[in-house]
């Protein structure tokens, strides 16, 4: 997957910069054309000559060191790169990338780049967990930047904790994996629903749930990275949607139903990750309801069952549903899959630590008509989204659904 690829390797100023030499060597051995950009701080840990020897190309450090009058170096490098890898990525480098700074050769090249970017962080565990660093990484991830998470081990500061740079072979494997998955869903139209719906009581009050939209957003992001044309139908959310998808904002279950069914015939894959309200008020007040008496009785009626509607109308589509439960997970998941005519059900017990609403992680089980397909332990929602869509991609040629 790396042969013939033009890769920029950005090395920033941390003690793990020495691993940049091994990473450069492995990329070159895999057939990639490697151009190395070092920050000034990185040169304090490893010499440019080492990277020049391993890459067999000049190493770039100074933005103003223009060697070819026919081009502007950082623009030319960005234009011809198939991928940029920043390893190690310090907290400062991540902050600069998130903030759009351009004060050195690496940061200006990143600003000019349109290719995928892979970041491999390396820093002290407390720095890695600092809210500012976490927020910067979340912002970059929402823009499509990919991360190779640091490992746990002995850090230069003496701690044994998460923060050490992933091993060079793991970074190479992750890059090859991403490159190979970039065409898994090429040419496919994917609809993803996310977030919770809102059922109005009056102009200022509504019924809703705790869904953040993070799982649906992770699926939409993963589908896009796999080459799909993605439409994201989002209700009430507390996270930022991924860039580059066709975003359709809705409020109620009825609006979500209309938005999805209008696009359903042309869809190849539909993943209904939204938490849709089961009931709505029979009467919606046009004015704010005033306080009156000690009790208020609301009459509710069923909303449209979006997943069941899609299952009944299914022709060629591969339909994935979600089941958030608090007990008898397997039983309720299989029952829902059969009743709603889904191809796959993603089930999670929201009472488990790390698997509920508003979490960055999840714990899920995947079911098809034959029962349990795979059980995914606690991991990031992005990892689960990727695994889910890999399974969907494998099954697309023989997708036919089940009888209702």
Measured N-to-C along each axis, helices 306-313 and 329-340 cross at an angle, to the nearest 10 degrees, of 50
Q: Which helix (H) or strand (E) holds 345?
A: strand 344-349
Please report, in range form, the residues annotated as the binding site: 278, 288, 322, 336, 340
Q: Which of 17, 128, 35, 42 is nearest to 84 (CA)?
A: 35
Locus of tokens 């991360």: 147
Separation between Cα atoms, residue 355 and residue 378, nearest integer Å: 8
Which residues are the active-site residues? Answer: 157
Please report, in range form, the residues annotated as the binding site for CTP: 278, 288, 322, 336, 340
Q: What residues pair up with 348 in beta bridges, in sequence order?
A: 324
Separation between Cα atoms, residue 59 and residue 37, nearest integer Å: 6
> For residues 66-78, b (16+ Cβ closer than 10 Å) or e, as one string?
eeeeeeebbeebb
DSSP 73-84: HHHHHHHH-SEE
Separation between Cα atoms, residue 259 and residue 272, nearest integer Å: 12
**Is 178 within 8 Å of 225 (Cβ atoms)?**
yes
Grouping H, G, I as helix, E, B as strand and the rest as coil, residue 395 is helix
């Amino acid at each position: 997957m790396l042969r013939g690829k033009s890769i920029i390797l950005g090395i920033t100023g941390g003690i793990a910069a020495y691993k940049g030499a091994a990473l450069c060597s492995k990329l070159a051995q895999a057939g990639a054309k490697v151009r190395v950009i070092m920050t000034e701080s990185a040169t304090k840990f490893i010499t440019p000559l080492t990277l020049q020897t391993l890459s067999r190309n000049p190493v770039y450090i100074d933005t103003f060191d223009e060697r070819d009058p026919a081009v502007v170096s950082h623009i030319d490098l960005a234009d011809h790169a198939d991928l940029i890898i920043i390893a190690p990525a310090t907290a400062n480098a991540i902050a600069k990338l998130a903030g759009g700074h351009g004060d050195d050769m690496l940061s200006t090249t990143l600003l000019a780049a349109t290719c995928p970017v892979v970041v491999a962080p390396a820093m002290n565990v407390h720095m890695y967990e600092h809210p500012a660093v976490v927020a910067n990484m979340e912002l970059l991830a929402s823009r499509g930047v990919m991360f190779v998470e640091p490992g746990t081990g002995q850090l230069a500061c003496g701690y044994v904790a998460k923060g050490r740079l992933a091993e060079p072979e793991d970074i190479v494997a992750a890059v090859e994996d991403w490159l190979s998955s970039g065409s898994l869903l090429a040419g496919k139209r994917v609809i993803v629903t996310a977030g919770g719906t809102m059922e109005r009581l009056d102009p200022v009050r509504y019924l809703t749930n705790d869904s953040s939209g993070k799982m649906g957003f992770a699926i939409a992001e993963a589908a896009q990275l796999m080459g799909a044309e993605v439409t994201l139908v989002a209700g009430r959310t507390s996270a930022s949607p991924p860039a580059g998808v066709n975003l359709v904002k809705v409020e109620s279950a009825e609006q979500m139903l209309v938005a999805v069914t209008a696009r359903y015939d042309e869809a190849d894959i539909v993943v209904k990750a939204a938490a849709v309200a089961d009931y709505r008020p029979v009467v919606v007040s046009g004015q704010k309801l005033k306080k009156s008496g000690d009790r208020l009785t609301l009459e509710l009626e069923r909303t449209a069952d979006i997943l069941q509607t899609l299952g009944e109308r299914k022709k060629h589509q591969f339909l994935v549903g979600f089941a958030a439960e608090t007990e008898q997970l397997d039983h309720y998941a299989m029952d829902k899959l059969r009743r709603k005519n889904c191809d796959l059900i993603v089930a999670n017990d929201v009472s488990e630590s790390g698997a509920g609403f508003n979490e960055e992680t999840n714990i899920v089980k995947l079911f098809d008509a034959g029962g349990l397909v795979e059980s995914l332990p606690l991991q990031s929602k992005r990892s689960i989204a990727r695994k889910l869509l890999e399974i969907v991609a494998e099954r697309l040629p023989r997708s036919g659904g089940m009888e209702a």
